[in-house]
Amino acid sequence: MEVDNKGKRYIYSDTELDRAEGEAIEALKAHSQQPIPDPDKWLDEEVRRNILLTTVDWALNWARRSSLWTVLCFPACCAFELMATAASRFDIARFGMEVMRASPRQADLMITAGTLTWKMAPQVRRIYDQMAEPKWVIAMGACAISGGIFADSYAVVPGYNRIVPVDVYVPGCPPRPEALLHGIKMLQEKIAKRSLLKEVK
Ligand code: SF4
């Protein structure tokens, strides 16, 4: 004597027993077409904790903005504020910028700290041309932006942007280190918006 689970009826023959068993298996098959999800969700959490998803643009821009190397090109008095920015109190090493290079080929940032005369202009342009790509320029101080108090002089270039393309302007005569740091942060934001796709077009 056997009992059918569904109908609670007594089954006496082997044929009926086989049929009842077959029906039960078919019913289980019909309800088992999809895998049962793991209620703990441990795998999702593990993936979220251990995989960092980002773009090539973000990684490249992060590396570039976090390791700006400045070329030595400080023609006048703003240079002292730049030196103060690099020294321990303000410490541009925090931005990965402590490496100042005497060779333009090892630098990607020009901070134009000082008055530029026409006599020096070709050398500044040559230094810029020899810098590694991509490269940026921060015009530091009134003289670098517009010639400053010497703007009317026959000998002074009325702004570095006559000679090289300038990315960020930091006003002041001279600007304090905090102002230069703010300019560096602005340049970093500008670099963060670069796209590799636009560069290769
Ligand atoms: S902006 Fe002022 S401090 Fe800077 S180089 Fe010109 S005169 Fe000197």
90-146: per-residue pLDDT in tens?
888 888 888 888 899 999 999 998 899 999 999 999 999 999 989 999 999 999 999
58 band by pLDDT with thresholds 50, 70 and 90: confident
120 versus 6: the higher-pLDDT residue is 120
Assess whether the C-beta atom of 151 lies below 6 angstroms from ligand 1. Answer: no
Among protein residues, the one with the nearest Cα to ligand 1's atom 6 is 143
Among protein residues, the one with the nearest Cα to ligand 1's atom 3 is 174
Can you give the pLDDT at residue 106? 92
- Cα Rg of the chain (Å, integer): 35
Can you give the pLDDT at residue 32? 85
Q: Is 51 left (phi over 0), alpha (psi -120 to 50) or beta?
A: beta
Assess whether the C-beta atom of 143 lies below 6 angstroms from ligand 1. Answer: yes
pTM: 0.72
What tokens does 123 get? 């050398």
Work out the number of other CB atoms within 10 angstroms of the CB of residue 54.
8
Can you give the pLDDT at residue 130? 93
Among 83, 112, 143, which is best to mutate for testing ligand 1, by the most ligand atoms less than 8 A from CB?
Answer: 143
Assess whether the C-beta atom of 175 lies below 6 angstroms from ligand 1. Answer: no
Assess whether the C-beta atom of 76 lies below 6 angstroms from ligand 1. Answer: yes
Given a cut of 70, is residue 181 above it in pLDDT?
yes
